[in-house]
Copies of this chain bind each other. A is one copy, B any other.
Amino acid sequence: MHISELQTPALLVEQAALRHNLDTMSAALPGGRLRPHVKAHKCTSLARLQYANGHRGFTCATIREVETMAAVGLGEDLLLANEVLDTRRLGRLVEDGHRVTVAVDSAETIKAAAAGGIREVVIDVNVGLPRCGCPPESAGPLADLARRAGLVVRGVMGYEGHLMLVQPEAERREKTEQAMRRLLAASADVGGELISAGGTGTCTVNIWANEIQAGSYALMDTAYEQLGQPFQQALFVLGRVISVSAGWAVVDVGLKALSLDHGLPSIDGTEVWFCSDEHTTFRTDGVPQPAVGDLVRVRPAHVDPTVALHDTLHLVDGTQVLEQWPVDMRGW
């Protein structure tokens, strides 16, 4: 099928770029050194490629992601890197033989994990991002509490999300080291084998964690592209020019097809003015004039929430659609 037959807007994944990204990352962080984060693509077909590349453990952000990964046979070692208070759905997965580990950072989340049938946890440590995670000095006592509740404590995790886009790289490296020193201190108190951290922005500089939770590297976006990492933009939203005026044109890709939380999307060779619910308006002065009906690739600034707006990923080789993959881990 040619991409012109797709109902626009449509999510495209360029196969060669995806392959490059997956293989580049697997060479840098082979096997268990990478715990791919599925929140970035929410697609078990793509997770299967990561598994085939040697990564048997995955990171999830939602209960739905854990459930769906388990349902398709990718439940060997799933880490829900987030706090949850009702763990009953996860407990049922454990009962069915899937390995599910949950992040905890408080007495309440430890109690919830034990109550719902979870058997394994990691202590989530705040390494500088004001979000979830306990202070490093509380990690040991929380691990003791978890063990007293009958839970196995597999180690620690800490997400240096505030450092992902720090430039230049030397500064990102230095700040990542400071953040990871906090995590290593907690790890010394907690014990266990896991020191889980990182993301696409720090995957090349975080040498302290023993597994990296990167996800965006597979599809990439314009925010991460600025870092000059060895990954290529693989995700695009395909649209059609539906209106051309004197000075601007409109493509049928809007807020409901791409996320603006990291800023406006990009269109090669021109400048995006603004996005509305179903439209992106771009400048046509000084660029080759588009015609009504032209296909346009829009590059989102943030891949994760953009993917979550679609029900299908179209794997393409240029203008040819090779496969259609359901975005099957949406929702909660």
Which chain B positions have C-beta within 8 A of A62?
Answer: 278
Interface size on A, residues (CB 8 A): 59
Q: How far is the CB of A250 from chain B (nearest CB, A)?
A: 5
What 7 pairs between A and B have smallest CB-CB spacing?
A108-B292, A83-B242, A132-B243, A260-B261, A255-B305, A256-B308, A61-B278
A171 contacts chain B at the CB level, 8 A cutoff: no
A3 contacts chain B at the CB level, 8 A cutoff: no
- As a 0/1 sequence over residues 84 to 99 of chain A, the CB contacts with chain B under 8 angstroms (1 = contact) are 1110000000000000
Q: Are A85 and B240 in contact (CB under 8 A)?
A: yes
Please state the number of chain copies in the assembly: 2
Q: How far is the CB of A203 from chain B (nearest CB, A)?
A: 17
Q: Which positions 277-306 of chain A face chain B at CB distance < 8 Å?
A: 277-279, 281, 291-293, 302, 304-305
Interface of A toward B, CB cutoff 8 Å: 7-9, 39, 61-63, 82-86, 105-106, 108-109, 126, 130-135, 161, 240, 242-248, 250, 252, 255-257, 259-261, 273, 275-279, 281, 291-293, 302, 304-305, 308-311, 331-332
Which chain B positions have C-beta within 8 A of A250?
Answer: 83, 131-132
Can you name the residue of chain B whose Cβ is closest to the Cβ of A132?
Answer: B243
Which chain B positions have C-beta within 8 A of A9?
Answer: 332
Can you name the residue of chain B whose Cβ is closest to the Cβ of A244?
Answer: B106
